[in-house]
A and B are shown apart, each in its own frame.
Chain A
Amino acid sequence: MSDLKTTVLNALHRELGAKMVPFAGYDMPVQYPLGVMKEHLHCRARAGLFDVSHMGQVIVRAPGGYAEVATAMEALVPVDVAGLHDGRQRYAMFTNDAGGIEDDLMLARRGEELFVVVNAGCKDADIQRMTEQMPGCEVLPVTDRALVALQGPEAEAVLEAIVPGAAAMRFMDIAILPSDWGDLWLSRSGYTGEDGYEISVEDGRAEEFARALLDQDAVEPIGLGARDSLRLEAGLCLYGHDIDAKTNPVEANLGWAIQKVRRSGGKREGGFPGADVILPQLVSGADRRRVGLSPEGRAPMREGTALFADETGGEAIGTVTSGAFGPSIEAPMSMGYVPVDLASPGTTVYGEVRGKRMAATIVALPFKPANFKR
Chain B
Amino acid sequence: MKYTEEHEWLRVEDDVIVVGITEHAAEQLGDIVFIELPDVGKEVVKDDDVVVIESVKAASDILAPIDGEIVEVNEALTDAPSTVNDDAIGKGWMFKMKADDMSQLDDMMDEAAYKKFIG
Please report A residues at the B interface, Cβ cutoff 8 Å: 31, 35-38, 225, 229, 297-300, 302, 324-325, 327, 332, 354
Contact = CB atoms under 8 A, between A and B. Distances in A.
B115 interface: no
Given A36-B30, A36-B31, A298 B81 contact: yes
A325 B82 CA distance: 13
Contacts of A36: 30-31, 56-57
B33 A225 contact: no
A36 B55 CA distance: 10
The 7 closest A-B pairs by CB, nearest first: A37-B31, A325-B33, A36-B56, A298-B34, A299-B34, A300-B54, A35-B31
B54 A31 contact: no
Interface string B62-80: 0000000000000000100
A325 B54 contact: yes
B59 interface: yes
A35 to B, nearest CB: 6
A177 B4 CA distance: 57
B98 to A, nearest CB: 26
A327 B58 CA distance: 15
Given A297-B34, A300-B33, A354-B52, 13 more contacts: A31-B30, A36-B31, A37-B30, A37-B31, A37-B82, A225-B30, A229-B56, A299-B34, A299-B54, A300-B34, A300-B54, A325-B34, A327-B31
Nearest to A324: B56
B71 to A, nearest CB: 24
B23 interface: no
A233 B98 CA distance: 43
Contacts, number: 45
A344 to B, nearest CB: 27
B34 A37 contact: no
Contacts of B31: 35-38, 327
B24 to A, nearest CB: 14
Given A225-B57, A299-B54, A354-B52, A35 B34 contact: no
A299 B60 CA distance: 12
Contacts of A300: 33-34, 54, 59
B36 A37 contact: no
Interface string B84-117: 0000000000000000000000000000000000
B34 A332 contact: yes
A302 B31 CA distance: 16
B89 to A, nearest CB: 19
B30 A35 contact: yes
Nearest to B28: A19
A229, A298, A327, A332 — most chain B CB neighbours (10 Å): A298
B11 to A, nearest CB: 26
A131 to B, nearest CB: 38
Contact of A37 (B54, B56, B59, B78): B56
Max count, chain A CB within 10 A of own CB: residue among B52, B57, B81, B82: B57
Contacts of B82: 37
Nearest to A229: B56
Contacts of B52: 299, 354
Nearest to A225: B56
A31 B28 CA distance: 11
**Interface-centre pick from B54, B56, B57, B78 (highest chain A CB count, 10 A):** B56
Interface string B14-41: 0000000000000000110110100000
Contacts of B81: 298
B70 to A, nearest CB: 18
Nearest to A302: B59
- Find the residue from B31, B78, B82 having the highest chain A CB count within 10 A: B31
26 contacts: A31-B30, A35-B30, A36-B31, A36-B57, A37-B30, A37-B33, A37-B56, A38-B31, A225-B56, A297-B34, A298-B33, A299-B34, A299-B54, A300-B33, A300-B54, A300-B59, A302-B58, A302-B59, A324-B56, A325-B33, A325-B34, A325-B54, A325-B56, A327-B56, A332-B33, A332-B34
